[in-house]
Amino acid sequence: MLRRIELHGILAEKFGKSFELDVASPREACTALGYQIDGFKQFMMTAHESGLFFAVFNDDENIGANEIEHNTGASIIRIVPEIVGAGGDVGGWLQVVAGAALVAVGVFVPGMQWAIGAGVGLMIGGAASLLMPTPNIESQDEAGNKASYAFGGAVTTVAQGNPVPILLGRHEIGGFIISISIVNEDT
C-alpha cells in the first residue's frame, strides 16, 4: 500500500517534507528513504551523537521502539524530532509546572497553604534538574560488567546512587553487590 512519509523539523529541512512509498512498516520506510536520499541513513545513524532523537507516529498514534518493525495500517508515517533539554529531561519541566499549579492551589484554596511550600520545592527541584547535565553512565556491555554466576547470574556492578532493593523471603532476581573483597595471597 502506498503510504505518505512525512519528515518534520531538521529532517524536513535537510531531506524534504513528504514522500510517497510502498512500505509496510516505519522501519521499512526508513530503510527505503536511506536508499533513495543521499545522506539520510548516515544522518539517522549518527543523530544521537548530537543529542537528536526522533518519535515515530502511525497517523496520529505515537509508537514505541518495539513497534517500529510492525506492519501498520496507517496511511501516514511521521518522523518527528523529540525535544531534549541540555540538562535533565522532561521530568524537570513537569516538576516546574506541577509546582506552579500547587502554588496556585495554595494561594486560592482556603486551608491548602501547605501546597505553597510543596510547590516552591517542586519548582526549585525541577529547575535544578534542568540545569544539571545528565551523567554519562558507562555501557553495561563492558568487560568488567559481565554476568557473574557466583552471585546468581545477574550483572553485579551498579551505577553509584541507585536505590538498593530490600527483598524479604526467596528471590529469583539478581541483586546488588554492595561490597565485596577478594584477597589473593601467596603461601
Label each residue of 122-158 as H, E or C.
Answer: HHHHHHHHHHCCCCCCCCCCCHHHCECHHHCCCECCC
Nearest alpha-carbon partner for 115 in 127, 126, 101: 101
- Model confidence over 57-116: pLDDT tens digits? 998 888 888 888 888 888 999 999 886 655 555 677 788 888 999 999 999 999 888 999
Nearest alpha-carbon partner for 155 in 136, 164, 142: 142
Contact 3, 29 (CB under 8 A): yes
CA 62 vs. chain centroid, Å, equals 14
Overall pTM surpassing 0.85 (yes/no):
no
Would the pLDDT of 186 be above 60? yes
Q: Looking up cell 508515517, which residue turns up?
A: 77
Contact 34, 44 (CB under 8 A): yes
Mean pLDDT of 116-135: 83
Q: Which has more pLDDT, 9 or 1? A: 9
Would the pLDDT of 38 be above 70? yes
- Model confidence over 12-26: pLDDT tens digits? 999 999 999 999 999
Would the pLDDT of 47 be above 60? yes
